[in-house]
Structure 1
Amino acid sequence: MTAMHADELQNLLVRIDERVKAIQEDIREINVARRCASHHVKIRTLERLVWGCLAGLAGIGARMVFEAWRP
C-alpha cells in the first residue's frame, strides 16, 4: 500500500467517524425531544403492575411450598 493510498484511507475513516458521531448526536436529540411525561407515567405504572404480579406469584408459590411441607 502506498503512502498516498494510506493517507486517503485515513482521511476516509476520519470522515466516516465524524459522520457517525453526528448521526449519534442527532439520534440523541430526537430521543430527548420525544420524551413525554405521560409516557413516563404509563411505563412506571406498567412496571409497578409487573412487579406486583411477580410479588403475588412469589407469595402464591411460597404458600404452596409451605402447604406442601406442612404435616
Structure 2
Amino acid sequence: MTVLEREDLQNLLVRIDERVKAIQEDIREINESRRCATNQIKIRTLERLVWGCLATVGALGARMLLEVVR
C-alpha cells in the first residue's frame, strides 16, 4: 500500500466517522422528540413496583436473619 493510498483511506475513514456521528445525533434527536408521556408513566410505575419488591425482600431477609441470630 502506497502512502497516497493510506492517506486516501484515512480521509475516507474520517469522513465515515463524521457521517456516523451525524447519524447518531439525528437518531438521538428523533428519540427525544418521540418520547411518549404515557410510556414514561408506565416506566415510573414499574420502577416503583421493582423498588417496592426489593425493599420487601430486603426486609424479609433481615427479619429471617434476625430470627436465626436469636
Q: TM-score range by the shorter chain?
A: 0.7 to 0.9
Residue matched to 2:48: 48
Residue matched to 1:34: 34
Residue matched to 1:59: 59
**Unpaired runs of at least 5, structure 1:** none
Post-superposition CA distance 1:16-44 (Å, at most 9, x none): 11211121112111211221121111111
Deviation of 1:45 (Å): 0.9
Length, aligned pairs only: 70
Deviation of 1:7 (Å): 2.4
Cα distance in 2 between the residues matched to 1:14 and 1:64: 60
**Unpaired runs of at least 5, structure 2:** none
Cα distance in 2 between the residues matched to 1:69 and 1:10: 67
Whichever residue aligns with residue 2 of structure 1, its letter is T
Cα distance in 2 between the residues matched to 1:33 and 1:58: 38
Residue matched to 1:16: 16
Cα distance in 1 between the residues matched to 2:9 and 2:18: 14
Cα distance in 2 between the residues matched to 1:22 and 1:10: 18
Cα distance in 2 between the residues matched to 1:33 and 1:5: 42
